[in-house]
Structure 1
Amino acid sequence: MSGKDNSSPRRKARLVFLVLLQVLFLCGVAGSYYAVGWFGQEIRIKTAPVDPRDLLYGDYVTLSYEISQLRPELWKEAGPVPDRGRQVFVLLKPDSGSKPVYEAVGVFASKPSVQQGEVVLKGQVVSSWKQEIRVKYGLEKYYVPEGTGKELEKEAGHMVVRAKVASWGQTKIEALEPF
Protein backbone atom coordinates (compact mmCIF):
# COMPACT_ATOMS: atom_id res chain seq x y z
CA MET A 1 0.00 0.00 0.00
CA SER A 2 2.86 2.37 0.66
CA GLY A 3 3.90 2.07 -3.05
CA LYS A 4 0.51 3.40 -4.07
CA ASP A 5 0.84 6.40 -1.74
CA ASN A 6 4.21 7.38 -3.28
CA SER A 7 2.99 7.18 -6.89
CA SER A 8 -0.13 9.26 -6.29
CA PRO A 9 1.74 12.54 -5.54
CA ARG A 10 4.03 11.87 -8.52
CA ARG A 11 1.06 11.27 -10.78
CA LYS A 12 -0.58 14.52 -9.61
CA ALA A 13 2.67 16.44 -10.14
CA ARG A 14 2.94 15.08 -13.71
CA LEU A 15 -0.65 15.99 -14.43
CA VAL A 16 -0.18 19.51 -13.08
CA PHE A 17 3.03 19.86 -15.13
CA LEU A 18 1.28 18.75 -18.34
CA VAL A 19 -1.65 21.11 -17.78
CA LEU A 20 0.71 24.02 -17.07
CA LEU A 21 2.71 23.18 -20.20
CA GLN A 22 -0.45 23.29 -22.33
CA VAL A 23 -1.58 26.58 -20.78
CA LEU A 24 1.87 28.13 -21.36
CA PHE A 25 1.82 26.98 -25.00
CA LEU A 26 -1.62 28.55 -25.61
CA CYS A 27 -0.55 31.77 -23.87
CA GLY A 28 2.58 31.84 -26.05
CA VAL A 29 0.56 31.49 -29.26
CA ALA A 30 -1.85 34.25 -28.21
CA GLY A 31 0.97 36.42 -26.87
CA SER A 32 2.93 36.21 -30.14
CA TYR A 33 -0.08 37.67 -31.99
CA TYR A 34 -0.33 40.59 -29.57
CA ALA A 35 3.46 41.05 -29.54
CA VAL A 36 3.30 41.90 -33.26
CA GLY A 37 1.12 44.88 -32.37
CA TRP A 38 3.43 45.98 -29.57
CA PHE A 39 6.84 45.44 -31.15
CA GLY A 40 6.16 45.30 -34.92
CA GLN A 41 7.21 47.97 -37.40
CA GLU A 42 4.26 49.70 -39.05
CA ILE A 43 4.08 49.63 -42.85
CA ARG A 44 1.51 50.74 -45.44
CA ILE A 45 0.82 48.74 -48.62
CA LYS A 46 -1.41 49.69 -51.61
CA THR A 47 -4.38 47.36 -52.14
CA ALA A 48 -7.23 46.51 -54.48
CA PRO A 49 -10.05 45.02 -52.32
CA VAL A 50 -12.90 42.74 -53.44
CA ASP A 51 -15.85 41.80 -51.21
CA PRO A 52 -16.65 38.12 -50.66
CA ARG A 53 -18.50 36.67 -47.67
CA ASP A 54 -17.66 33.91 -45.21
CA LEU A 55 -20.64 32.10 -43.67
CA LEU A 56 -18.85 31.49 -40.37
CA TYR A 57 -17.05 34.82 -39.94
CA GLY A 58 -19.21 37.30 -41.88
CA ASP A 59 -17.93 39.97 -44.24
CA TYR A 60 -14.31 40.15 -45.23
CA VAL A 61 -12.35 41.90 -47.88
CA THR A 62 -9.98 39.95 -50.11
CA LEU A 63 -6.94 42.09 -50.66
CA SER A 64 -4.59 42.10 -53.60
CA TYR A 65 -1.38 44.07 -53.18
CA GLU A 66 0.87 45.78 -55.67
CA ILE A 67 3.72 43.90 -53.96
CA SER A 68 2.01 40.59 -54.79
CA GLN A 69 2.91 40.89 -58.49
CA LEU A 70 6.67 41.27 -58.75
CA ARG A 71 8.95 41.79 -61.74
CA PRO A 72 11.43 38.92 -62.25
CA GLU A 73 14.29 41.48 -62.14
CA LEU A 74 13.66 41.74 -58.38
CA TRP A 75 14.85 38.12 -57.92
CA LYS A 76 18.28 38.64 -56.29
CA GLU A 77 19.46 35.02 -56.25
CA ALA A 78 21.44 33.09 -58.84
CA GLY A 79 19.42 30.85 -61.12
CA PRO A 80 15.85 30.95 -62.38
CA VAL A 81 12.95 32.67 -60.61
CA PRO A 82 11.43 30.57 -57.79
CA ASP A 83 8.88 27.88 -58.56
CA ARG A 84 5.30 27.70 -57.33
CA GLY A 85 5.03 26.83 -53.63
CA ARG A 86 8.52 28.04 -52.73
CA GLN A 87 8.97 30.28 -49.69
CA VAL A 88 10.55 33.67 -50.49
CA PHE A 89 11.45 36.81 -48.57
CA VAL A 90 10.45 40.15 -50.09
CA LEU A 91 12.44 43.22 -49.06
CA LEU A 92 10.24 46.33 -48.79
CA LYS A 93 11.33 49.94 -48.65
CA PRO A 94 9.17 53.06 -48.13
CA ASP A 95 8.67 55.40 -51.07
CA SER A 96 9.32 59.12 -50.71
CA GLY A 97 5.67 60.24 -50.36
CA SER A 98 4.25 62.26 -47.47
CA LYS A 99 2.54 59.09 -46.20
CA PRO A 100 5.08 56.50 -47.31
CA VAL A 101 3.84 53.30 -48.94
CA TYR A 102 6.20 50.34 -48.92
CA GLU A 103 7.36 48.96 -52.27
CA ALA A 104 9.21 45.75 -53.14
CA VAL A 105 12.91 46.22 -53.90
CA GLY A 106 14.09 42.60 -53.85
CA VAL A 107 13.05 38.96 -53.62
CA PHE A 108 15.33 36.48 -51.84
CA ALA A 109 15.49 32.76 -51.08
CA SER A 110 16.54 33.44 -47.47
CA LYS A 111 15.90 36.36 -45.16
CA PRO A 112 18.15 39.28 -46.17
CA SER A 113 19.65 41.82 -43.81
CA VAL A 114 17.74 45.09 -43.63
CA GLN A 115 18.70 48.74 -43.39
CA GLN A 116 16.91 51.34 -41.25
CA GLY A 117 13.28 51.67 -42.39
CA GLU A 118 13.26 48.50 -44.49
CA VAL A 119 11.12 45.44 -43.74
CA VAL A 120 11.07 41.84 -44.92
CA LEU A 121 7.81 39.97 -45.58
CA LYS A 122 7.80 36.20 -45.82
CA GLY A 123 5.63 34.90 -48.64
CA GLN A 124 4.91 31.90 -50.80
CA VAL A 125 5.16 31.91 -54.58
CA VAL A 126 1.72 31.33 -56.13
CA SER A 127 3.03 31.34 -59.71
CA SER A 128 6.08 32.48 -61.61
CA TRP A 129 7.12 32.93 -65.20
CA LYS A 130 9.33 35.26 -67.21
CA GLN A 131 7.03 38.29 -66.81
CA GLU A 132 5.94 38.04 -63.18
CA ILE A 133 6.38 36.40 -59.78
CA ARG A 134 3.09 36.25 -57.84
CA VAL A 135 3.47 36.03 -54.06
CA LYS A 136 0.94 35.40 -51.28
CA TYR A 137 1.81 36.82 -47.84
CA GLY A 138 -1.01 35.60 -45.61
CA LEU A 139 -2.39 39.16 -45.45
CA GLU A 140 -4.98 38.64 -48.17
CA LYS A 141 -8.10 38.50 -45.95
CA TYR A 142 -9.34 41.27 -43.67
CA TYR A 143 -12.57 40.76 -41.72
CA VAL A 144 -14.82 43.81 -41.50
CA PRO A 145 -18.02 44.63 -39.60
CA GLU A 146 -21.21 43.19 -41.14
CA GLY A 147 -22.47 45.20 -44.10
CA THR A 148 -19.34 47.32 -44.61
CA GLY A 149 -17.69 45.15 -47.26
CA LYS A 150 -19.68 46.71 -50.12
CA GLU A 151 -18.48 50.21 -49.16
CA LEU A 152 -14.88 49.04 -49.21
CA GLU A 153 -15.43 47.37 -52.60
CA LYS A 154 -16.35 50.78 -54.07
CA GLU A 155 -13.02 52.17 -52.85
CA ALA A 156 -11.02 49.46 -54.65
CA GLY A 157 -7.69 50.77 -55.83
CA HIS A 158 -7.80 53.77 -53.46
CA MET A 159 -6.94 51.99 -50.23
CA VAL A 160 -3.81 51.06 -48.31
CA VAL A 161 -3.36 48.49 -45.57
CA ARG A 162 -1.69 49.61 -42.39
CA ALA A 163 0.05 46.51 -41.05
CA LYS A 164 2.62 45.62 -38.41
CA VAL A 165 5.60 43.40 -39.16
CA ALA A 166 7.49 41.87 -36.23
CA SER A 167 11.22 41.29 -36.44
CA TRP A 168 10.60 37.51 -36.28
CA GLY A 169 8.43 37.71 -39.45
CA GLN A 170 4.88 37.57 -38.12
CA THR A 171 2.48 40.11 -39.66
CA LYS A 172 -0.85 41.57 -38.65
CA ILE A 173 -3.26 43.92 -40.45
CA GLU A 174 -4.10 46.92 -38.28
CA ALA A 175 -6.53 48.80 -40.55
CA LEU A 176 -7.60 49.75 -44.06
CA GLU A 177 -7.16 53.43 -44.93
CA PRO A 178 -8.01 55.64 -47.90
CA PHE A 179 -5.01 56.46 -50.06
Structure 2
Amino acid sequence: MSVRLGLIVAVALQTIALIAIVGVKQWTLATGTPVLLETQPVDPRSLFRGDYVILRYAINRLDAGLPGMPGVFKPGETLYVTLREDAPFWKPVSVHSARPEPQPGAVVIKGEIRYDARGVKAVEMRYGIEEYFVPEGEGREIERPRRDGKVSILVAVDRFGNAGIKAVLIDGVTRYEEKLF
Protein backbone atom coordinates (compact mmCIF):
# COMPACT_ATOMS: atom_id res chain seq x y z
CA MET A 1 0.00 0.00 0.00
CA SER A 2 2.81 2.47 0.80
CA VAL A 3 4.47 1.95 -2.61
CA ARG A 4 1.18 2.65 -4.36
CA LEU A 5 0.57 5.72 -2.21
CA GLY A 6 4.10 6.95 -2.96
CA LEU A 7 3.50 6.53 -6.69
CA ILE A 8 0.21 8.42 -6.49
CA VAL A 9 1.86 11.26 -4.56
CA ALA A 10 4.76 11.44 -7.07
CA VAL A 11 2.39 11.58 -10.05
CA ALA A 12 0.21 14.16 -8.30
CA LEU A 13 3.22 16.39 -7.53
CA GLN A 14 4.43 16.21 -11.13
CA THR A 15 0.96 17.06 -12.40
CA ILE A 16 0.67 20.01 -10.00
CA ALA A 17 4.12 21.28 -11.05
CA LEU A 18 3.18 21.09 -14.74
CA ILE A 19 -0.13 22.88 -14.15
CA ALA A 20 1.69 25.58 -12.15
CA ILE A 21 4.24 26.19 -14.92
CA VAL A 22 1.55 26.53 -17.58
CA GLY A 23 -0.77 28.41 -15.23
CA VAL A 24 1.75 31.15 -14.39
CA LYS A 25 2.41 31.83 -18.08
CA GLN A 26 -1.29 31.84 -18.91
CA TRP A 27 -2.00 34.16 -15.94
CA THR A 28 0.59 36.64 -17.24
CA LEU A 29 -0.84 36.57 -20.76
CA ALA A 30 -4.45 36.86 -19.57
CA THR A 31 -4.02 39.58 -16.95
CA GLY A 32 -0.86 41.43 -17.95
CA THR A 33 -0.73 44.97 -19.28
CA PRO A 34 -0.11 44.99 -23.06
CA VAL A 35 3.22 46.63 -23.94
CA LEU A 36 4.41 47.06 -27.55
CA LEU A 37 8.18 46.63 -27.92
CA GLU A 38 10.41 47.42 -30.85
CA THR A 39 12.62 44.50 -31.80
CA GLN A 40 15.00 42.99 -34.31
CA PRO A 41 15.04 39.21 -34.73
CA VAL A 42 18.49 37.69 -34.79
CA ASP A 43 18.38 33.98 -35.69
CA PRO A 44 15.53 32.05 -37.34
CA ARG A 45 16.45 28.37 -36.95
CA SER A 46 17.61 25.68 -34.54
CA LEU A 47 18.34 22.19 -35.81
CA PHE A 48 17.13 20.69 -32.54
CA ARG A 49 14.13 22.88 -31.74
CA GLY A 50 12.69 23.82 -35.14
CA ASP A 51 11.92 27.36 -36.24
CA TYR A 52 12.18 30.05 -33.66
CA VAL A 53 13.30 33.63 -33.60
CA ILE A 54 15.78 35.11 -31.17
CA LEU A 55 14.51 38.58 -30.38
CA ARG A 56 16.50 41.60 -29.32
CA TYR A 57 14.65 44.57 -27.89
CA ALA A 58 15.61 48.19 -27.39
CA ILE A 59 15.06 47.52 -23.65
CA ASN A 60 17.73 44.77 -23.63
CA ARG A 61 20.44 47.43 -23.53
CA LEU A 62 19.86 49.93 -20.72
CA ASP A 63 21.74 53.20 -20.52
CA ALA A 64 23.82 53.24 -17.33
CA GLY A 65 22.61 56.81 -16.78
CA LEU A 66 18.94 55.86 -16.32
CA PRO A 67 17.49 57.12 -13.01
CA GLY A 68 17.86 54.56 -10.22
CA MET A 69 20.55 52.53 -12.00
CA PRO A 70 22.76 50.91 -9.34
CA GLY A 71 26.47 51.71 -9.49
CA VAL A 72 27.65 48.09 -9.25
CA PHE A 73 26.22 45.28 -11.37
CA LYS A 74 26.47 41.52 -11.05
CA PRO A 75 25.48 39.14 -13.85
CA GLY A 76 22.34 37.28 -12.80
CA GLU A 77 21.13 40.10 -10.54
CA THR A 78 17.44 41.00 -10.86
CA LEU A 79 16.47 44.55 -11.77
CA TYR A 80 13.04 46.07 -12.30
CA VAL A 81 12.68 48.45 -15.25
CA THR A 82 9.89 51.00 -15.39
CA LEU A 83 8.52 51.43 -18.92
CA ARG A 84 6.34 54.26 -20.24
CA GLU A 85 4.60 54.46 -23.57
CA ASP A 86 6.34 56.68 -26.11
CA ALA A 87 4.00 55.97 -29.04
CA PRO A 88 3.96 53.50 -30.49
CA PHE A 89 6.58 51.67 -28.38
CA TRP A 90 7.27 51.53 -24.65
CA LYS A 91 10.66 52.81 -23.45
CA PRO A 92 12.64 52.43 -20.20
CA VAL A 93 12.50 55.46 -17.90
CA SER A 94 14.00 54.17 -14.63
CA VAL A 95 15.60 51.12 -13.01
CA HIS A 96 15.12 49.68 -9.52
CA SER A 97 16.81 46.99 -7.42
CA ALA A 98 13.48 46.12 -5.75
CA ARG A 99 10.06 46.02 -7.37
CA PRO A 100 8.53 49.49 -7.09
CA GLU A 101 4.84 50.29 -6.98
CA PRO A 102 3.75 50.94 -10.56
CA GLN A 103 2.81 54.53 -11.35
CA PRO A 104 -0.19 55.44 -13.52
CA GLY A 105 0.69 55.04 -17.20
CA ALA A 106 3.76 52.94 -16.40
CA VAL A 107 4.59 49.23 -16.30
CA VAL A 108 7.37 47.54 -14.33
CA ILE A 109 9.10 44.61 -16.06
CA LYS A 110 11.45 42.23 -14.23
CA GLY A 111 14.77 41.38 -15.86
CA GLU A 112 18.13 39.84 -15.16
CA ILE A 113 21.50 41.42 -15.82
CA ARG A 114 23.33 39.47 -18.53
CA TYR A 115 26.50 41.52 -18.27
CA ASP A 116 27.79 44.96 -17.54
CA ALA A 117 28.83 46.78 -20.71
CA ARG A 118 30.44 49.69 -18.85
CA GLY A 119 32.79 50.28 -21.76
CA VAL A 120 29.78 51.57 -23.65
CA LYS A 121 27.96 52.83 -20.54
CA ALA A 122 25.17 50.27 -20.75
CA VAL A 123 23.84 47.16 -19.04
CA GLU A 124 22.61 44.15 -21.03
CA MET A 125 19.37 42.67 -19.69
CA ARG A 126 17.30 39.54 -20.27
CA TYR A 127 13.53 39.44 -19.63
CA GLY A 128 12.60 35.88 -20.63
CA ILE A 129 10.92 37.05 -23.85
CA GLU A 130 13.94 36.78 -26.13
CA GLU A 131 12.84 33.62 -27.99
CA TYR A 132 9.65 32.90 -29.88
CA PHE A 133 8.79 29.61 -31.57
CA VAL A 134 6.94 29.73 -34.89
CA PRO A 135 5.46 27.03 -37.13
CA GLU A 136 8.07 25.05 -39.06
CA GLY A 137 9.27 26.85 -42.17
CA GLU A 138 8.07 30.30 -41.08
CA GLY A 139 11.09 31.61 -39.16
CA ARG A 140 12.46 33.36 -42.24
CA GLU A 141 9.23 35.36 -42.63
CA ILE A 142 10.02 37.15 -39.38
CA GLU A 143 13.74 37.36 -40.16
CA ARG A 144 13.18 39.01 -43.56
CA PRO A 145 11.29 42.18 -42.44
CA ARG A 146 13.80 42.84 -39.65
CA ARG A 147 16.03 44.74 -42.07
CA ASP A 148 13.26 47.32 -42.52
CA GLY A 149 12.53 47.52 -38.79
CA LYS A 150 8.92 46.36 -39.29
CA VAL A 151 8.74 43.65 -36.61
CA SER A 152 7.29 44.50 -33.21
CA ILE A 153 6.23 42.34 -30.29
CA LEU A 154 3.18 42.73 -28.07
CA VAL A 155 4.15 41.62 -24.58
CA ALA A 156 1.94 41.15 -21.51
CA VAL A 157 3.53 42.29 -18.23
CA ASP A 158 1.78 41.19 -15.04
CA ARG A 159 1.77 43.04 -11.72
CA PHE A 160 4.82 41.08 -10.53
CA GLY A 161 6.92 42.17 -13.53
CA ASN A 162 6.76 38.84 -15.36
CA ALA A 163 6.47 39.14 -19.14
CA GLY A 164 5.14 36.88 -21.87
CA ILE A 165 4.87 37.33 -25.62
CA LYS A 166 1.23 37.80 -26.68
CA ALA A 167 1.72 38.51 -30.38
CA VAL A 168 4.24 39.08 -33.15
CA LEU A 169 3.36 41.96 -35.47
CA ILE A 170 4.79 42.44 -38.95
CA ASP A 171 4.14 45.86 -40.48
CA GLY A 172 1.68 46.53 -37.64
CA VAL A 173 -0.44 43.47 -38.44
CA THR A 174 -0.66 40.55 -36.00
CA ARG A 175 1.08 37.58 -37.64
CA TYR A 176 1.35 35.17 -34.69
CA GLU A 177 -0.73 35.28 -31.53
CA GLU A 178 -0.48 33.24 -28.34
CA LYS A 179 -3.76 31.61 -27.50
CA LEU A 180 -4.92 30.89 -23.97
CA PHE A 181 -4.92 27.08 -23.94
Provide TM-score, normalisation by structure 1.
0.81
Look up the SS of the partner of 2:52 in the other structure: strand
AA of the residue aligned to 1:91? T
Give the aligned partner of residue 158 of structure 2: 166
Give the aligned partner of residue 139 of structure 1: 129
Corresponding position: 1:82 with 2:73: yes
AA of the residue aligned to 2:45? R
Deviations 1:47-73 (A, max 9, x none): 011233112321111111111111111
Give the aligned partner of residue 93 of structure 1: 84
Q: Which 10-residue stretch deviates more, 104-113 or 152-161?
A: 152-161
Percent of paired sites with the same residue: 32
Give the aligned partner of residue 110 of structure 2: 122
Cα distance between partner residues in 2 of 1:148 and 1:11: 48
| Equivalent residues of 2:67, 2:93 under 8 A apart | no
Give the aligned partner of residue 49 of structure 2: 57
Deviations 1:3-51 (A, max 9, x none): xxxxx4x776665455434433322222112111211111110001123
Aligned-residue offset at 1:124? 1.4
For this pair of structures, how many residues does the alignment match?
167
Corresponding position: 1:25 with 2:13: no
| Equivalent residues of 1:81, 1:133 under 8 A apart | no
Q: CA distance change for structure 1 residues 80 and 146 in 2, over 3 Å: closer, same or farther?
A: same
Give the aligned partner of residue 5 of structure 1: none
Q: CA distance change for structure 1 residues 15 and 48 in 2, over 3 Å: closer, same or farther?
A: closer
Structure 1: segments with no counterpart, 5+ residues: 1-7
| Equivalent residues of 1:163, 1:174 under 8 A apart | yes
Corresponding position: 1:102 with 2:90: yes
Give the aligned partner of residue 179 of structure 2: none
Cα distance between partner residues in 1 of 2:67 and 2:104: 21
Aligned-residue offset at 1:150? 1.8
Provide TM-score, normalisation by structure 2.
0.80
- Bigger Cα Rg: 1
Cα distance between partner residues in 1 of 2:30 and 2:73: 33
